[in-house]
Structure 1
C-alpha cells in the first residue's frame, strides 16, 4: 500500500522528507550566496558602502589619465577641445547660432556640450559597469548597484572640473555671477539622479550583451542632435509642427541643458524654456531614477554568472 493510500488521501503527502541541507543552513543562519535581498535591505546595504563607492569613483577618475603626460590637465582640456570643435563646425561653418546673440552663443554651446557629455559619458561607461568589473563582482559580495552608481559619481566629478571652463566662458561673455547661478545646483542634481537610473539600465543590459556597447555611440549621437546642443530648438524648428518642437524640448537632456543655461547665461531668458520645465525635469529624474534602480535590482542574482 502506498503512503498516500495509508493516509486516506489522493493528494501529495503532507509529511515529505525535509531537505537536510536546507535544515542545516537554516539552523546556522546561512543563506544562498548572492541572493537578491528585499529592496529596503538592498538600499540599506548600498548606503552602508557609500564610502567605498565614492573612493572607487575617485580612483577611477584619477587613473583615467594616469598614463598621459599631461595627467589630470586632460580633465579640463578634453571638454574644452570638444567645445572648440563644435564651435568651429556648427557655430562658424554651419551657422547654427541663428537666433542666438554672439555674446550668448559661446556659453550656450559650451553649456550644451558639457551637460550632454555628462549623460553621454555615464551611459557609455555604464554599459561596462558590470562586464568590465567581473573580477571584482565574482570575488567580493556587495550590492552590484555600487558599480553603476560609482560610474555616475565619477562623471559628476568630471563635470565639476569642466564647470571651471564653463564659468570662465560665461564671465568672458558678460554673464557675471548672480543669485540665479544657484539654480544650476538643483538642475545638475536632477540630471545626476536621471543619470544614475539610466546608468543602471545600461549596466544590466551590458552585463548580458557586451555588444550593446557598440550600439550606444550611434544612439547617443542621435540623441545629441535631437537635444539642441548646438542650436536653439524653437528657432531651428520654426514653422514645423508644434508637436515636434514640444517633443524635442521636453526630452530630458534638452530640459537639463535649458535649466543650466537659464541659470548661468545672462541673455538666456525664461522665454527660451518650455512650460513647467522644473516639473518636467523632476519627473524625468524621479521616473528614470526609480525605474532604473528597480530594474537593476531585479537582476542582482545574475551579475557575474554564466
Structure 2
C-alpha cells in the first residue's frame, strides 16, 4: 500500500503593523499638548515668560552686585572709586598734558559726568559677553528664558550707577553745581541709556556664546568708541570752526554714546547749554534706545535654543 506524504506549509504569520510616521507622531504629540524639548517659543510667548521671571531677574542682579567686590577690602566702595580713578587719569592726560579743557567751562564736572555715564554703557556691554559663558551651569541645569541673564546683568550695572551717583553729586557740589529743575532730565536720559545698553548686551551675549573670542576683542572696540564719544573732550568745540567733512560731524554728534553723555551733561552741568546738543537730541536718544533694545532682543531670541549646547 502506497502512502503519499504531503508537506504541510507553515501557517502564515500576521504582518506587523507599520510604525507610525514622524508626521503621525508629531500630530499625536500636539494633540496631547507635548512640545519639542528646548524648542524656541514664539516671540510674544517668550516676552511673557521673561516678564513672569522679573523677580528672578532683579534678585539675580542684586546678588551679582553684592558679590562683585566681596573679596576686596574696600568692598562696594570700588563702585565709586573705579570711575573716579579713571577720571583722575583722564584729567591728568587730556586736561593737563593735552590741554583739551581749553574752551570747555567747568571741565572737571564735564569730565566726571562723561566718565560715569560712559562707564555705565561700557560695563553693560562687557557684562553681556559673559552672560551665557559665565553662567553655563545655570543655563544647562534649568529651563528659563536665557535673555534673563543679560537683562539682569544690565540691571546690575544700573544699580551700580545709582549707587555711584551719590559720589557724582557730591563732586558737582564741590565745583559749584547745585540742584536745578534740569536735573530731573537725568531720569529719562538714564532710562533710555539703560534700554540702549541692555539691547547691546543681548547682542554681545549671543555673539560671545558662539565665539568666546568676542570677550577678548570687545575692550579694544569699546576703547575706540570711547575716544570718539567726547568723554574727555567736547564734540561741539571740536566741530565748531573745523574744516571737517559734514558726514564726520554728523556721525560724531549722532553717536549714541555721545548723545547720552551730552544729555546727562545738559541735565547736571549748568554751563553745558542746549546749543552744544545735536539737533533733535531726544528723538535721537529714543530712536537709538528703541532700535538697540528691540533689535537686540529679537537677535538674542532667534538663538534661544542654542545657548548652553556644545
TM-score clears 0.5: yes
CA distance in 2, matches of 1:26, 1:298: 22
- Residue 190 of structure 1 is matched in structure 2 by 192
**Where does structure 2 lack aligned partners over 5 or more consecutive residues?**
1-17
8 A contact 2:61–2:156 mirrored in 1: yes
- Give the superposition deviation at 1:70: 1.1
Q: CA offsets, 1:193-247, max 9 Å, x none?
A: 0011100000000000001111111100100000000000122234122321221
- Give the superposition deviation at 1:23: 5.3
Name the count of aligned residue pairs. 290
How is 1:115-130 mapped onto 2 (pairs within 5 angstroms)?
A: 115-130=117-132
Moved more, 242-251 or 153-162: 242-251
Is 1:261 aligned with 2:265? yes
- Residue 159 of structure 2 is matched in structure 1 by 157
- Give the superposition deviation at 1:84: 1.2
- Residue 115 of structure 2 is matched in structure 1 by 113
- Give the superposition deviation at 1:27: 4.9
CA distance in 1, matches of 2:103, 2:252: 18
8 A contact 1:194–1:289 mirrored in 2: yes
- Residue 201 of structure 1 is matched in structure 2 by 203
**Match among 262, 276, 280 for residue 276 of structure 1:** 280
Report SS of the residue matched to 2:36: coil
Normalising by structure 2, we get a TM-score of: 0.90
How is 1:1-306 mapped onto 2 (pairs within 5 angstroms)?
A: 17-19=20-22, 21-22=25-26, 25-101=29-105, 104-237=106-239, 238-239=241-242, 240-306=244-310
8 A contact 1:57–1:153 mirrored in 2: yes
Report SS of the residue matched to 1:235: helix
Displacement over 6 Å in runs of 4+? none
Which protein is bigger by CA-based radius of gyration?
2
CA distance in 2, matches of 1:114, 1:34: 40
CA distance in 2, matches of 1:222, 1:72: 28
8 A contact 1:126–1:148 mirrored in 2: yes
- Residue 9 of structure 1 is matched in structure 2 by none
Aligned Cα RMSD in Å?
Answer: 1.6
- Give the superposition deviation at 1:106: 0.7
Q: CA offsets, 1:98-137, max 9 Å, x none?
A: 2112xx1111101111111111101111011111111100
Normalising by structure 1, we get a TM-score of: 0.91
CA distance in 2, matches of 1:297, 1:27: 26
